[in-house]
């Protein structure tokens, strides 16, 4: 069945979905890496494709920016299209001193300043974490590729421009990087009994005033894309 944000029906999406924020990155991944990709969604310009990677069914679906947006798309994929695993492949700002421009981060956990968890009415603070199975597969795939990765906490923030200038405080907790989606994705996966992992390329290091270009963010971070696809092969 179609949903308010995704067209098509059960079977249009593979059990595993790669989810970049940028729909044009979804298009690039599908056209570059997938065999026989077909367009399965273009509602609101949020492009989604399904094809195969070395014979394995896989989909790529844009999520947009921020927790409200990925919260919608991941919820609908998990609940209405039979998706079991979502691997977010996005960008992050490096916070920890060990993290450099273009490094890859595997988000084991996702701190957040969001109230996304309030909907669950939990009697405490929820700690959003990745699926260990996906995290282990990604770490093993990275090792096999000779790709160094950082594994640890991300910060999923509701704000891109932060007037509080709070990154220095998160740095003291050795949070690796800041992005805007992982915590909501991890919570949706947990609630649905499904799996999720966030794989991020460091596109900027705001505390050091280091940045990449928009063109590089759209099509240049191929190591992250290839790592995600090799992770799918190990599932």
Catalytic sites, residue numbers:
204
Taking the C-alpha atoms of residue 57 and residue 84, their distance in angstroms, rounded to an integer, is: 13
Task: Compute the 3-state secondary structure of the chain and give helix, strand, coil in percent, each to the nearest 5.
Answer: 35, 30, 35
Q: Which residues contact 208 (CB under 8 A, 6 or more apart)?
A: 94
Report the sign of the C-alpha dihedral through residues 20, 26, 28, 34, in that order. positive
Strand, helix or coil for residue 16: strand
Burial class (CB in 10 A: 0-12, 13-18, 19+), 35: exposed
What phi and psi values does residue 123 have, to the nearest 5 degrees?
A: -85, 45
Residue 151: beta bridge partners?
A: 106
Distances (CA, A) of 34 to 14, 38, 227: 12, 9, 14
């Amino acid at each position: 069945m179609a949903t308010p944000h995704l067209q098509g029906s059960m079977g249009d999406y593979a059990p595993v979905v790669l989810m970049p924020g940028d729909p044009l990155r979804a298009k690039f991944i599908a056209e570059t890496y997938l065999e026989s990709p077909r367009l399965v969604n273009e509602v609101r310009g949020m492009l989604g494709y399904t094809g195969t990677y070395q014979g394995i069914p896989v989909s790529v679906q844009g999520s947009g920016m921020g927790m409200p947006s990925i919260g919608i798309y991941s919820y609908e994929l998990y609940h209405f299209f039979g998706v079991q695993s979502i691997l977010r492949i996005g960008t992050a700002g490096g916070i920890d001193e060990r993290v450099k421009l273009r490094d890859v981060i595997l988000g084991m956990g996702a701190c957040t300043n969001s109230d996304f968890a309030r909907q669950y009415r939990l009697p405490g603070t929820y700690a959003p974490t990745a699926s260990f199975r996906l995290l282990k597969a990604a770490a093993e795939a990275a090792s096999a590729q000779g790709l160094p990765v950082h594994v640890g906490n991300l910060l999923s923030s509701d704000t891109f421009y932060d007037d509080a200038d709070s990154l220095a405080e998160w740095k003291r907790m050795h949070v690796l990087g800041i992005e805007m989606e992982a915590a909501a994705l991890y919570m949706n996966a947990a609630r649905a009994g499904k799996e999720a992992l966030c794989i991020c390329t460091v596109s900027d290091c705001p505390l050091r005033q280091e940045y990449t270009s928009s063109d590089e963010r759209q099509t240049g971070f191929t190591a992250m894309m290839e790592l995600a696809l090799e992770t799918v092969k190990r599932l």
